[in-house]
Each structure stands twice: as C-alpha cells, then as structure tokens.
C-alpha cells in the first residue's frame, strides 16, 4: 500500500512537462499573434473566467479517478444557476439562493452516485440520463425565459474584491486548497485513489466502495451548486441554457491535466493547469476574432489529443 502510494506521488511529477509545456506554448503563440493577450487586464480576465470551470473540474478529477464520469454537470450547473436566480429573486437573499442551489446540486450528485454505485448503471449513461432530467427541469422552472433582476449581493459575488483580489479567485483558490487537502492529506483521499486503482484493497480494509462513490458524486453536485452561484452572479441573471456543455470543458481540463481515464491516478495541480490551458485557448482564439464555434471544436481536438497521449503512455 505504501509503495503504491509513493508510486502515485512520483508518477505525476513526470507529467509536469506535458500540460505545462502546452500552456507556455499557447501563451507564447497568443502573445506573438495578438497584442491584447499579454496584458494585465486580459490575464486577470482569463483567470476570473476560469473559476467556474475549476469548480467543476476539481470534483470531475475525483470522479474520473474512480473510473467514472459526470456528463450531467453542465446541465445541473444550468439548473442550480437558475435556482440561485429564482430563490434570490423571491427572497431577496443571496445566501438563501446559494443554500437552495447547494441542495439541488447535492441531490443530483447523490442521484448520480446512487445510480452508478448501487444500481450499477455505467456512469456515462447514468449521468446522460440525469443530464436530460436537469435540462428538462431547467426549462420547466424557468419556462424557457431568463430570470433577471438580481439583488446587488448576488452580483457582488462575481464583481467584488477582497483586499484587491477578485472574489471568484478567492473562492476558486479556497476550493482548490480544500480539494488538495482532501485528496492528498486525508484518509478519504487515500480511499479515492484505492477506488480507482485497487478496489480489492478497499474491501479488505472494510470500507464501503458504494458509500464512497456516492460521496464523490455528491461532492461533485455540491460544487456544481456553488458554481451555479458564480454563474448567476457573472451573468447577473439565470438563463435556461447557460451552462450546457461546460462539463466538456471540465473533462478536457482533467484529461489535459494528465488524470488517466483508466488507471485511477489523478493529479489536482494538473487539473488546475488544465483549466487555465482551456481558458487561455478559448481566450486566445477569441482575441484572434475566431468564432466561438472554432473554440468548441479546438477544445474537442484538445481532448482527443490528450487521450491519445494518455493511451500511448499506458501502452509504454
């Protein structure tokens, strides 16, 4: 067990080049091609815009480490963002909106985990089913309309600063540190590594793999609830299609960051770099005045390339 843990800790270090080199290369190319890229406001813009993605990508890393996947995140994000908007509008309270979104997100997370762990449905189909449900619920609760007129407190979550640092950055850094601590410094984290790599060992240690899996997906749902608040604050409204497809950027960030889809070893710092890489790619293409459709296609290619490299690694 200890030997394996050490292996898992040293292995990721060899991966640093991959995603970091890609990030530096993209930054160099974009700064040469557009004058607007390497400016303080733009860099801060990229980082602030990446915060929502990071909140999805952190739990997605854990889920992928368990050899799972959560395709419902984008649709659930849309739903929780709408819930924040509707509840904040009705009660005038940002906190009530956040609590409602956390609750709805967690319910979806638990449902995903239950379908995967207890019922035994393959994760990509179970979460495709809940994707449809969340998408439908979003249309139903919003009646297909935007929800506008947010209280100032909601907007402040995205535009506010604390000691000169934008609030979203603080929230994102806090989430990253929490996940880092959870994965690398608690027993729960060790179990997650075991869940992907060595389920037998968990059984011998008397740990319920089912309960753990449900917890992992539930954590994902709760994070999507938190991200829903940021989403609503950013747009200053709730919109019934706002977050659709964002789970793909999260999967891309995790894959680019070097977390394997088949071997249960994940790397959170890689995910962080992966999130920034996806953010830089979209921002750079945007500055080059390429349409958003090209951005979507490039993120798709990025995932396929990352998985191809991962496949090469696993064979060697």
Partner 1 sequence: MTDISKPITGGRMLLSDEMIQVFYRLLAAFLICAALTILTNSFFSLGNILNVLRQASLLFFIASGLTLVVLTGGLDLSIGANVAISACIAGTVIHQTGSPTLGVLTGIGVGGAVGMLNGVMVTALRIPSFIATYGMLWVLHGITYWYMGGETMHGFPAGFRQIGSGYFLGLPIPVYLLLVFLAIGTIFAQRTTWGQEIYAIGANPVAARLSGIPVARRLLLVYTVSGAMAGLASIIFLARLNSAEADIGESLTLPAIAAVLIGGTSLFGGLGTVFGTFVGALILTLVLNGMNLLSVNASWQPLVTGVIVILAVWLDMKTRRRAA
Binding string, residues 248-267; x marks residues near partner 1 by CB under 8 A = x--x---x-----xx-----
CB nearer partner 1, residue 73 or residue 154: 73
Judge contact between 133 and 126, C-beta under 8 A. no
Measured between alpha carbons, how far is 225 from 2 in angstroms, rounded to an integer?
36
Quick one: which segment of 7-15, 54-62, 222-230, 303-311 binds partner 1 (CB under 8 A)? 303-311
State the minimum distance, in angstroms, from the CB of residue 60 to partner 1: 12
Residues with Cβ < 8 Å from 176, sequence gap 6 or more? 54, 58, 268, 272
State the minimum distance, in angstroms, from the CB of residue 126 to partner 1: 7
Question: Judged by CB under 8 A, how many residues of this single chain contact partner 1?
Answer: 47
Q: How many other CB atoms are there within 10 angstroms of residue 25's CB atom?
A: 11
Judge contact between 28 and 274, C-beta under 8 A. no
Measured between alpha carbons, how far is 284 from 22 in angstroms, rounded to an integer?
14
Measured between alpha carbons, how far is 209 from 191 in angstroms, rounded to an integer?
9
Span 200-239, contacts to partner 1 by CB under 8 A: none
Binding partner 1 (rule: CB under 8 A), the pick from 1, 13, 21, 140 is: 140
Quick one: which segment of 39-47, 116-124, 156-164, 205-213 binds partner 1 (CB under 8 A)? 116-124
Judge contact between 261 and 64, C-beta under 8 A. yes
3-state secondary structure of 293: helix
114 binds partner 1 (CB under 8 A): no
Span 276-295, contacts to partner 1 by CB under 8 A: 291-295
133 binds partner 1 (CB under 8 A): yes
298 binds partner 1 (CB under 8 A): yes
300 binds partner 1 (CB under 8 A): yes
């Amino acid at each position: 067990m200890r030997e394996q843990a050490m292996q898992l800790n040293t292995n990721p270090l060899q991966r640093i080049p991959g995603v970091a080199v890609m990030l530096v290369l993209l930054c160099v190319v974009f700064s040469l091609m557009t004058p607007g890229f390497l400016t303080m406001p733009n860099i801060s813009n990229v980082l602030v815009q990446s915060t929502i993605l990071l909140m999805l990508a952190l739990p997605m890393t854990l889920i992928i480490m368990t050899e799972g996947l959560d395709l419902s995140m984008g649709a659930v994000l849309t739903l929780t963002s709408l819930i924040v908007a509707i509840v904040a509008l009705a009660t005038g309270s940002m906190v009530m909106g956040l609590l409602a979104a956390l609750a709805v997100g967690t319910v979806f997370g638990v449902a995903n985990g239950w379908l995967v762990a207890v019922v035994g449905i393959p994760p990509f189909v179970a979460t495709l089913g809940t994707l449809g449900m969340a998408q439908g619920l979003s249309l139903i609760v919003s009646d297909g309309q935007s929800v506008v007129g947010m209280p100032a407190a909601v907007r402040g979550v995205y535009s506010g600063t604390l000691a000169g640092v934008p609030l979203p950055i603080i929230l994102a850094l806090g989430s990253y540190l929490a996940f880092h601590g959870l994965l690398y410094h608690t027993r729960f984290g060790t179990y997650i590594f075991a869940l992907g790599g060595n389920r037998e060992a968990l059984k011998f240690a008397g740990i319920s793999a089912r309960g753990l899996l449900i917890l992992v997906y539930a954590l994902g749902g709760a994070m999507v609830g938190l991200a829903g608040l940021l989403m609503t604050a950013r747009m200053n409204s709730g919109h019934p299609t706002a977050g659709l497809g964002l789970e793909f950027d999260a999967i891309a960030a995790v894959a680019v960051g070097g977390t394997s889809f088949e071997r249960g070893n994940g790397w959170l710092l890689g995910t962080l770099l992966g999130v920034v890489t996806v953010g830089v790619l979209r921002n750079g293409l945007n500055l080059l005045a390429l349409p958003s459709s090209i951005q979507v296609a490039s993120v798709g290619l990025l995932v396929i390339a990352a998985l191809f490299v991962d496949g090469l690694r696993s064979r060697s």
